[in-house]
């Protein structure tokens, strides 16, 4: 399976890694107390291209949204939950480490494992 990004998203992705500072700037819900955590640095480098297209789903996206929304849910949600105090630091870091381990096993196809399959011609998610 191959994830094809729409033309507007294709231009926003690059193979370059992301810095922790860029991650924190792009997602203010990520707590800044993790800035110096080596695991977060590795996380930003590994998932930078996916994080650059990640978008927070809106409440009306009952089906989980499109690829960019799933990337947000899978890659940023745990950090945001920790940021509002609903998770412990150790557990959050363990979840990040687990995701990195999954990525290391299949880096070329990892993004495909995050996004559920949709039938051809399925309309894009959204409100309306």
Q: Does any domain span residue 71?
A: yes
**Angle in degrees, CA 12, 18, 21, rounded to 5:** 115
Q: What pLDDT digit, counting tens, does each position of 22-78 carry? A: 999 999 999 999 999 999 999 999 999 999 999 998 877 666 678 888 899 999 999
- Number of folded domains that form the chain: 1
Of 59, 40, 38, 26, nearest to 126 by C-alpha is: 59
Does 1 have pLDDT greater than 50? no
Q: Does any domain span residue 1?
A: no
Q: Does any domain span residue 125?
A: no
DSSP labels for 77-89?
HHHHHHHTTSS-H
Which pLDDT value is given to residue 57? 87
User: In which domain, by residue range, is 108 found?
Assistant: 9-114
Q: What pLDDT digit, counting tens, does each position of 83-98 carry? A: 999 999 999 999 999 9
Does 13 have pLDDT greater than 70? no
Which pLDDT value is given to residue 63? 63
Q: Does any domain span residue 16?
A: yes
Q: Does any domain span residue 13?
A: yes
pTM for this structure? Answer: 0.78
Q: Does any domain span residue 26?
A: yes
Q: Does any domain span residue 97?
A: yes
């Amino acid at each position: 399976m191959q994830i094809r990004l729409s033309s507007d998203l294709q231009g926003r992705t690059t193979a370059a890694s992301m810095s922790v500072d860029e991650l924190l700037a792009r997602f203010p819900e990520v707590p800044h107390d993790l800035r110096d955590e080596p695991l977060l640095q590795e996380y930003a480098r590994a998932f930078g291209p996916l994080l650059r297209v990640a978008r927070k789903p809106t409440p009306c996206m009952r089906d989980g949204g499109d690829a960019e929304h799933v990337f947000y849910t899978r890659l940023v949600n745990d950090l945001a939950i920790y940021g509002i105090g609903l998770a412990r630091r150790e557990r959050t870091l363990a979840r990040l480490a687990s995701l990195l381990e999954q990525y290391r096993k299949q880096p070329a196809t990892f993004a495909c494992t995050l996004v559920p399959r949709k039938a051809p011609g399925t309309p894009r998610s959204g409100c309306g």
